[in-house]
Structure 1
């Protein structure tokens, strides 16, 4: 990664298409539609988050939209991601429905949620969605290196982002390098291992020296490399704590210790066991 790929404040990545993707966002996977989701998004926006990540499959786009409206924050200040549910037939029709639920005219990033039916079948529809102004940027999620190569061979417009499971335990260096070759930003979901990594002995030892929470250390591990992360939480205190990752740095030694936790052999795969 070069310094030019970050914004001057060091808090966002500049995408190949010119989009600005904040390094920290709130993910709302497994957050039920309704009050719990609205509250989590409002707490995040009130705390200073400007990146919210949802998906058609999550069933909570309406709550994200309500929280955004209730916040009073200008739409242009918040980066909104949603994802095409690839069991549907048409990415264009699907995003039209997403925009209604979100209450916006356009999303900032629209991803193919996973490569069901093959990595290329949905991509022409994603390109049409962007051409019609429904999404500023388009990308993919859970795509392995081979999937990206297939898209690259036929795409008129390359994905700007590949959102994958990424953490010290899933340090997918091979996939990250494949993304870099195609000027695609790798974005991390499950950066806390859905909570499992918070109890790791190495993480706890580093926390003791850094006077930070385990979550802050794990998130810092990613953003210090310029990797955008979208931790999920429905607890106001944790949402606020997770934002406090831009005022410290991990040492080279601590980064290397965390790197050594990888269990994927630095794979080029996005998932060890695809679910589709």
Structure 2
């Protein structure tokens, strides 16, 4: 088990900057702006989630903000992440727009969504957003080990988080190890393979042995790897199901079987191919 894993049920990962990141989050990628997004966030907060992950590119920040207000959960109890759309040139101005859409004074984490234009292009603006108090932490997403190292070398504030595609089929062990060396927390997006891997025979077999669902097995694997897991769902029952990952543990055998599903060769790259 990774020594950085928080599997006790307390549910928060200390970041290098002193803030704490809840290890289970609801992601709203591909959730349309409007009722579907509002309901998903409200259901998650009602189920005990305290970490919501959105992005400027998702187009649904306003719905996330509405759900935060409607939920009745105090703002200080919810960790909100959004991401800089790197096809723009002004991380500060774009975050100010995000804050208006979200209806909050600051976000808890602001990430460079992907390294378009070079790993370090946006970082000075990200540091400025932090300095201005628009966000409590800054980080990156879809950054390889080399790109992360470039940001650390060029900046004055290191990224607190690297959010990447991570699941048993994409077990980027060398990238996870590099982030550990740099004291950068790793967040896993698509921890269920956008739902594809819940039908994997190995996952299904472990689910039967443990009396858990395949989704819970995949998310628990992530926790025991030391990851923060961000799972997307718009179904109330699945949102509740995904929260049930703190009261059991996978055995060493279970973990080894899931590790063996990797198809990346344990790479230190964030993606096998880029979209930008």
TM category (shorter chain) comes to over 0.9
- CA–CA separation in structure 2 for the residues paired with 1:231 and 1:44: 11
Contact 2:186 2:228 in 1 (8 A): yes
TM-fit CA distance, 1:254: 0.3
TM-fit CA distance, 1:146: 1.1
TM-fit CA distance, 1:6: 4.6
What is the match of residue 259 of structure 1? Answer: 259
- CA–CA separation in structure 2 for the residues paired with 1:203 and 1:117: 38
What is the match of residue 152 of structure 2? Answer: 152
What is the match of residue 117 of structure 1? Answer: 117
Contact 1:7 1:13 in 2 (8 A): no
- CA–CA separation in structure 2 for the residues paired with 1:9 and 1:37: 26
What does residue range 233-252 of structure 1 map to in structure 2 within 5 Å?
A: 233-252=233-252
What does residue range 105-144 of structure 1 map to in structure 2 within 5 Å?
A: 105-144=105-144
Alignment CA distance shift 1:7-1:77 (3 Å)? farther
What is the match of residue 40 of structure 1? Answer: 40
Aligned length: 275
Contact 1:23 1:226 in 2 (8 A): no
Alignment CA distance shift 1:9-1:198 (3 Å)? closer
What is the match of residue 65 of structure 1? Answer: 65
What is the match of residue 89 of structure 2? Answer: 89
SS of corresponding position for 1:52: strand
Contact 1:52 1:78 in 2 (8 A): yes
Contact 1:46 1:71 in 2 (8 A): yes
Moved over 6 A (4+): none
Q: TM-score, normalised by structure 1?
A: 0.98
- CA–CA separation in structure 2 for the residues paired with 1:181 and 1:224: 18
Residue range with higher mean Cα deviation, 144-153 or 87-96: 144-153
What is the match of residue 17 of structure 1? Answer: 17
SS of corresponding position for 2:18: coil
Contact 1:61 1:102 in 2 (8 A): yes
TM-fit CA distance, 1:167: 0.3
TM-fit CA distance, 1:9: 4.8
Contact 2:42 2:68 in 1 (8 A): yes
What does residue range 44-59 of structure 1 map to in structure 2 within 5 Å?
A: 44-59=44-59
1:208 to 2:212 alignment: no
- CA–CA separation in structure 2 for the residues paired with 1:157 and 1:13: 19
- CA–CA separation in structure 1 for the residues paired with 2:224 and 2:244: 13
- CA–CA separation in structure 2 for the residues paired with 1:226 and 1:173: 11
Q: Which runs of 5+ in 2 are unaligned?
A: none
Q: Deviations over 1:100-141 (max 9, x none)?
A: 000000000000000000000100000000000001000000
Q: TM-score, normalised by structure 2?
A: 0.98
What is the match of residue 28 of structure 1? Answer: 28
SS of corresponding position for 1:248: coil
SS of corresponding position for 1:269: coil
Contact 1:7 1:14 in 2 (8 A): no
Contact 1:188 1:227 in 2 (8 A): yes
Contact 1:119 1:147 in 2 (8 A): yes
- CA–CA separation in structure 1 for the residues paired with 2:162 and 2:137: 12
What is the match of residue 98 of structure 1? Answer: 98
- CA–CA separation in structure 1 for the residues paired with 2:7 and 2:220: 17
